[in-house]
Chain A
Amino acid sequence: MRRGKTRRDRTVESISLPPESLTDEALSLRSVVIPTSPKSLPRTLLIACGALAREILAIIEINDLTGMALECLPATLHNHPERIPEAVRAKVQAARSRGIQDVHVVYADCGTGGLLDQVCEEEGVTRIAGPHCYAFFDGLDAFASRSEEEIGALFLTDFFARQFDTLLWKGLGLDRHPELLEMYFGNYDRVVHLAQTDDPVLDAKARAAADRLGLRYVRRKTGYGELNDFVTRAASS
């Protein structure tokens, strides 16, 4: 029965959460502004996918980068890439109207088929290179060179390992309809966990995810990969 459901687009309602109060749930579902100290206007703003927030904050901290602020769009947009370009544009324009000139977009193409690049060009902002975050964590060349060997792989980053239930299992409706598993994953043979950090608890989660999908588990430590270079370069631009 058609129930006249309408889509609630929550990408526009932002909430403000300091780094210590961030939750993966919020990063998945909400637009999150992450205030950084000092409170003065930041010199550089990163507009990112929520799936990258913790990693970006870690890079900022490790490299002691200053004058940077971070705003994230909900990671669930990943399943609706057609909404990403305009959501990013709105964030860029809002930042500009607050007087922040130096803006960088921490989104891969993410299935926008070049439309995000078009928006970045029109708005005069840079974007991290690559088709998706799996590729830039792994290293673009390394990822591409393994593409044939890993054709049957489902990739998980640390974030997706933590949010497997929300973004993948529930996102694909497998909680309600486990019978769809074969239609989704019938052609897959392994889960490749591209690990940003060494965390046994997270490894166990990723392995459990692979088990649930009936796939072999492979772990590959990537660290922050090319995200590290992009964020540190943005800081010195």
Chain B
Amino acid sequence: MSDEEDDIVLSELSNEELVQQMHDDLYDGLKDEILEGVDILLGRGWEPYKVLTEALVEGMRIVGIDFRDGILFVPEVLLAANAMKGGMGILKPLLAETGAPKQGKMVIGTVKGDIHDIGKNLVSMMMEGAGFEVVDLGINNPVENYLEALDKEDADILGMSALLTTTMPYMKVVIDEMKAKGIRENYVVLVGGAPLNEEFGKAIGADAYCRDAAVAVETAKEYMAQRLHNQ
């Protein structure tokens, strides 16, 4: 970091400059600066939902693009996610009070045999940022965990993550069980994880494979719109 950057006083920036700066700070994984930025914007009367989408979600979207393009790697993404999580910690209770738009409910988890969770956590966070309610089942989930949670939570969407070639076929086990129980059509099934691809998603009977968190959010929104339309 250069001295020049150290001189920036966040509270002296205009709204527009501050949001730009927050995108940069998120990119650099600077959690304290993000917390400060969130407080300043709220202090200036911004709706929590506006702070979330324009400062945090948009910043994280940029991080996602550079990760996809190989400019950023996992540690930078983790740091950025950490900073965003901090900001969301402030915003979440306020969002509940102010009634941000509600998009739908997703149950998400990493499949049995797999304990990779960075990508899944990122998807959860971005889905929350986009107004979805997210129930995170964590790692190493057998089919029963998913089915139980879908039922109990009255969810709209099932999300499954796998990072291992040995565990990705388990997604089909879950989908087949949903079919056997006659409940497959009640849910939108989204799958993701680095070794997957579109073809695989189709082959196992998922509704969509999502390359990254941004695509996951867009896809989930599209399906929710369709569901409302069909009701």
A binding-site residues for B, Cβ under 8 Å: 1-2, 5-7, 79-82, 109, 111-115, 131, 144, 147-148, 151-152, 172-174, 176-177, 180, 183-184, 187-188
B190-231 with Cβ < 8 A to chain A? 194-197, 200
Known contacts A151-B140, A177-B75: A111-B194 contact under CB 8 Å: yes
Which residue on chain A has the smallest CB distance to residue B23? A2
Among A1, A111, A151, A172, the one with the most B-chain Cβ atoms within 10 Å of its Cβ is A1
Known: A1-B24, A113-B194, A148-B113. 6 other contacts (CB 8 A): A7-B70, A79-B74, A109-B165, A112-B195, A151-B115, A177-B79
Q: Is B46 an interface residue (CB 8 A)?
A: no
- CB–CB A180/B113 < 8 A: no
A176: which of B75, B140, B164, B194 is its contact (CB, 8 Å)? Answer: B75
- CB–CB A111/B113 < 8 A: no
A111: which of B66, B115, B139, B163 is its contact (CB, 8 Å)? Answer: B163
Assembly CA distance A4 to B24 (angstroms): 12
- Shortest C-beta distance, A165 to chain B (Å), equals 15
- CB–CB B24/A111 < 8 A: no
- Shortest C-beta distance, B110 to chain A (Å), equals 10
Assembly CA distance A184 to B82 (angstroms): 12
- CB–CB B70/A180 < 8 A: no
Q: Is B28 an interface residue (CB 8 A)?
A: yes
* A to B CB contacts below 8 Å, 6 in the list: A1-B24, A7-B69, A113-B197, A114-B195, A144-B166, A148-B113
The interface residues of chain A lying within 8 Å CB-to-CB of B12 are: none
A2: which of B66, B70, B140 is its contact (CB, 8 Å)? Answer: B66
Which residue on chain B has the smallest CB distance to residue A114? B165
Assembly CA distance A114 to B165 (angstroms): 8
The interface residues of chain B lying within 8 Å CB-to-CB of A148 are: 113
B76: which of A112, A113, A173 is its contact (CB, 8 Å)? Answer: A173
Assembly CA distance A176 to B75 (angstroms): 9
- Shortest C-beta distance, A63 to chain B (Å), equals 29
Overall SS of chain A's interface: loop
Assembly CA distance A151 to B118 (angstroms): 17
Number of interface residues of B (CB under 8 A): 33
Contact with A along B69-83 (1 / 0, CB 8 A): 111011110110010
Known contacts A1-B5, A7-B71, A114-B165: A81-B24 contact under CB 8 Å: no
Assembly CA distance A2 to B25 (angstroms): 9
The interface residues of chain A lying within 8 Å CB-to-CB of B165 are: 109, 111-114, 131
Q: Is B27 an interface residue (CB 8 A)?
A: yes
Known contacts A172-B74, A177-B75, A187-B139: A111-B5 contact under CB 8 Å: no
Which residue on chain B has the smallest CB distance to residue A7? B70
Which residue on chain A has the smallest CB distance to residue B21? A1
- CB–CB A81/B194 < 8 A: yes
Q: Is B117 an interface residue (CB 8 A)?
A: yes
Among B62, B118, B194, the one with the most A-chain Cβ atoms within 10 Å of its Cβ is B194
- CB–CB B79/A81 < 8 A: no
- Shortest C-beta distance, B113 to chain A (Å), equals 6
Which residue on chain B has the smallest CB distance to residue A117? B165
